[in-house]
């Protein structure tokens, strides 16, 4: 088509304006993206923590292309080898027993909520299926996921949402205890809050929730859509705390760009959903699950977790140096390669300056920059990012 990709009016003409986009990217390789004008950008956002293997990884492309040449879709009326293999890989990585593949993270949340409510309903058909979620959380934009998202600005225009949801204060165990009733079916939280400002769960808090769920037979749902799949140096962030959820949701890096998510559940929930309770046309199709299998294989072959631990420590050290140097940085926090830089000024202008300098980062609130690079990042990329950030701050 004869479209001028530098014409703002032309490129926005037929797209619903839900994103403020400016750059048209054409290709990518490794840690870098290239726009239609040939300008290269160091990507420290990884497509919002999706592209764990960076861009144009030859092994990943080979695996996906091989599957593309065999079978793309058959519906969930049938099995495929890649679906079966992916289920084993997810079960092993999570330490849980059963998995359901979806098309996205928000769909994984929807399925997790349905499973928790069905589990409670099987015990007590009069149950109201109440859910405790966290303030400042983000779980997605579909109606169910939005209902447990703890940001009123996201919810208001779309109410009434699903009922029975209460919000506790993240990292405040007493606020969770105060909301528990005999009708509570689930407690849902991000193991490391992303959109809410890059806040890791306190050890006492997450272990306390695990204990409350055990004592009251409540389903503990951990949302690891962003912080899972190696992002914090372990395959899943809850491994840092020595606990396991009853359900964990995942997406983003599990497909490294292919549209797939999943929720995995413990054995006590394995019979909660039966034929007719839940489904998806595309979720878990042969192409997407072949991508999942390739991601796990590449994580192992490329020692991704070890690289996250090494480079996460290096990135944190470099950012701490900047924090000591610049008064406008008030905090650096997070785990592994999921770090937040909080400023006492708006982050928007800093992000714009970085973009102009050819470095991509994303926000997490009005005053926080989220740094979530591809998990293949090296010292030299971090040094380039720090140099550009210091230039923006100066």
CATH number at residue 119: 3.40.640.10
Number of domains in the chain: 2
Q: Indicate whether 2 belongs to any domain.
A: no
Question: Is the pTM of the predicted complex or chain greater than 0.95?
Answer: yes
**389 phi/psi in degrees, rounded to 5:** -65, -40
Q: Are residues 266 and 342 in the same domain?
A: no
Residue that finishes a domain, picked among 269, 301, 333:
301
**267 phi/psi in degrees, rounded to 5:** -65, -30
Peptide bond into 270 cis (omega under 30): no
Pick from 212, 185, 215: which is nearest to 115 by CA? 185
Q: Are residues 294 and 310 in the same domain?
A: no
Please give the residue range of the domain that contains residue 382: 8-53+303-393
User: pLDDT 10s per residue in the chain (394 long)?
Assistant: 899 999 999 999 999 999 999 999 999 999 999 999 999 999 999 999 999 999 999 999 999 999 999 999 999 999 999 999 999 999 999 999 999 999 999 999 999 999 999 999 999 999 999 999 999 999 999 999 999 999 999 999 999 999 999 999 999 999 999 999 999 999 999 999 999 999 999 999 999 999 999 999 999 999 999 999 999 999 999 999 999 999 999 999 999 999 999 999 999 998 899 999 999 999 999 999 999 999 999 999 999 999 999 999 999 999 999 999 999 999 999 999 999 999 999 999 999 999 999 999 999 989 999 999 999 999 999 999 999 999 999 8
Residue that finishes a domain, picked among 301, 324, 341:
301
Note whether 226 and 190 are within 8 A (CB).
Answer: yes
DSSP calls for 250-267: E-GGGTBTBS-EEEEE-G
**What's the token pair of residue 290?**
């072949």
Determine the Cα–Cα distance for residues 206 and 170; give it in Å rounded to an integer. 10
Determine the Cα–Cα distance for residues 344 and 283; give it in Å rounded to an integer. 42
What is the CATH number for 313?
Answer: 3.90.1150.10
Total Cβ atoms within 10 A of residue 385: 25
Pick from 181, 188, 194, 206: which is nearest to 112 by CA? 188
Provide the CA 60 distance to its chain's centre, in angstroms.
20
């Amino acid at each position: 088509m004869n479209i001028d990709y530098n014409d703002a009016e032309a490129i926005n003409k037929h797209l619903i304006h839900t994103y403020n986009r400016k750059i048209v990217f054409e290709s990518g390789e490794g840690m870098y993206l290239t726009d239609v004008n040939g300008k290269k950008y160091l990507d420290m956002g990884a497509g919002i923590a999706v592209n764990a293997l960076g861009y144009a990884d030859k092994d990943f492309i080979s695996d996906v292309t091989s599957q593309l040449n065999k079978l793309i879709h058959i519906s969930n009326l049938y099995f495929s080898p890649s679906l079966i293999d992916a289920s084993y890989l997810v079960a092993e990585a999570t330490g849980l027993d059963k998995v359901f593949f979806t098309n996205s993270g928000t769909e994984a949340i929807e399925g997790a909520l349905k499973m928790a409510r069905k589990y409670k309903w099987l015990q007590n058909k009069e149950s109201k299926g109440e859910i405790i979620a966290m303030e400042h959380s983000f779980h997605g934009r579909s109606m169910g996921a939005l209902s447990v998202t703890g940001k009123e600005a996201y919810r208001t225009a779309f109410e009434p949402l699903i009922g029975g949801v209460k919000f506790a204060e993240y990292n405040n165990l007493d606020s969770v205890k105060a909301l528990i009733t005999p009708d509570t079916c689930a407690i849902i939280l991000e193991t490391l809050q992303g959109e809410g400002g890059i806040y890791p769960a306190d050890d006492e808090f997450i272990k306390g929730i695990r204990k409350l769920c055990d004592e009251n037979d409540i389903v503990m749902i951990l949302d690891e859509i962003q912080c899972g799949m190696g992002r914090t140096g372990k395959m899943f962030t809850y491994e840092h705390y020595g606990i396991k959820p009853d359900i964990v949701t995942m997406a983003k890096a599990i497909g490294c760009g292919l549209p797939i998510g999943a929720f995995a559940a413990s054995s006590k929930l394995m019979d909660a959903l039966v034929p007719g309770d839940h489904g998806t046309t595309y979720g878990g199709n042969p192409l997407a699950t072949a991508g999942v299998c390739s991601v796990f294989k590449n994580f192992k072959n490329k020692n991704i977790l070890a690289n996250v631990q090494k480079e996460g420590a290096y990135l944190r050290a470099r950012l701490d140096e900047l924090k000591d140097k610049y008064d406008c940085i008030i905090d650096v926090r997070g785990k592994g390669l999921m770090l937040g830089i909080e400023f006492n000024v708006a982050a928007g202008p800093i992000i714009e300056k970085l973009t102009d300098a050819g470095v991509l980062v994303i926000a997490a609130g009005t005053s926080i920059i989220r740094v979530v690079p591809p998990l293949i990042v090296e010292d030299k990329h971090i040094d380039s990012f720090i140099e550009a950030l210091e230039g923006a701050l100066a």
